[in-house]
Amino acid sequence: MAKTIAPLTVAAIRSAKPAAKVLRDGGGLYLLLQDSGRHLWRFDYRFQGTRKTLSMGVYPDVSLADARERREEARRLVANGIDPSIQRKAVKAATLEKAGNSLEVVAREWFQKQKATWAKSHADKIILRLENDIFPWLGKRPIAEVTAKELLATLNRVVDREAVESAHRILQNCGQIFRYAIATGRAERNPAADLRGALPPVRPSHHAAILNPKEIGGLLRAIDGYDGAFVTKCALKLAPLLFVRPGELRNAEWSEIDLEAAQWEIPGTKMKMGQPLIVPLAPQALEVLKELHQVTGRGRYVFPSARGGDRPMSNNAILAALRRMGYANDEMTGHGFRAMARTILDETLHFRPDYIEQQLAHAVRDPNGRAYNRTAHLEQRRQMMSAWADYLYELRDVSLHP
């Protein structure tokens, strides 16, 4: 007659000494007592005539009740002709495969294959969008299991912050990633294709601006990394420092710029309001202009057209460069540098509104209702422009991952 084994109790486990070596619970379940103090659950069973042992975890992380439940699950598998150890390996392999084929893993693989064909600034923008707006919500999901509903909910987070064009661009990138997953056998369908017409239509803003300091820093670093024409890059660098209108910037002439006096005097004939404007040049702006002068200083225009020095650069040059860097219509425009400066000079750096408005070449009146002349508050505006340049360069030099 087989010896009956009394079921284990929690009290018996707690009072057991390592010398006991094994505490049996019956039905093939037992607890190995190690000299180190660790208690290991084991389950012995026979499958197709062969004795096998299955690990059930460590006590007390796996309680007595949990171990018994795992034993019964294993016994049911054996009764149904399934080897528990083989089944466990299959589950583990499937889990690892899912983790290895997560949306983030596949997306980064796709990105690595594509980025060599893009401008660095454009590639940086795409991966930042994915890291900020997709990976936190869907990155760990097996790419084959991501649904259109999940993807739309994630994109709507971008829409909710009024970056509709960015949401459309992210959807486009996700569609490319899913198509890559299908081609490499990690997915069978593309849920991004099901979202056609699901996002609000894009209504471009001609004066979209970046106002968040961290995002401004990212924009300035993107400008530093711009790999297009040198003249265009210089215009991009000066646009935030000077915050004049895009037409005023591109039509700048060397005869209007006094590098020694560190100022740019724009004649009224070039100004929207018809009044001349003096733009103080901070050291950072002077550095860019001196470097540019070596290239274009013998000609008329500071930013000559690539098609000939007898005319200025295209009125679309800066906007096109921003798009090339990955900034959408609803994120940043050439005019956006003015809104950026106006907001931060007022709300963060706390300069007087009339100094700011005067430097923006807006209609500003003195207490007697008379328009300020071009030299009014010039010293205060010079200090303001220097402080603004220092602030921008501080933002630029802050790492993306401090």
Catalytic residue set: 245, 272, 335, 338, 362, 372
- Measured CA to CA in angstroms, residue 123 lies from 72, 128, 151, 198 at distances of 53, 9, 22, 26
CA–CA dist 400, 175 (Å, integer): 27
CA–CA dist 264, 257 (Å, integer): 4
What token pair was written down for 301? 């225009």
What token pair was written down for 131? 């890291």
Is the omega angle on the peptide bond into residue 60 within 30 degrees of 0, that is, cis? yes
What token pair was written down for 50? 């062969």
Is the omega angle on the peptide bond into residue 191 within 30 degrees of 0, that is, cis? no
Of residues 129, 226, 232, the one with CA closest to residue 171: 129
CB-CB contact of 176 with 110 (8 Å)? yes
Measured CA angle at 383 (ends 379, 385), to 5 deg:
115
CA–CA dist 283, 388 (Å, integer): 11
CA–CA dist 162, 157 (Å, integer): 9
Which residues, 6 or more positions from 130, have their beta carbon under 8 angstroms from its beta carbon?
A: 107, 111, 170, 173
CA–CA dist 182, 110 (Å, integer): 12
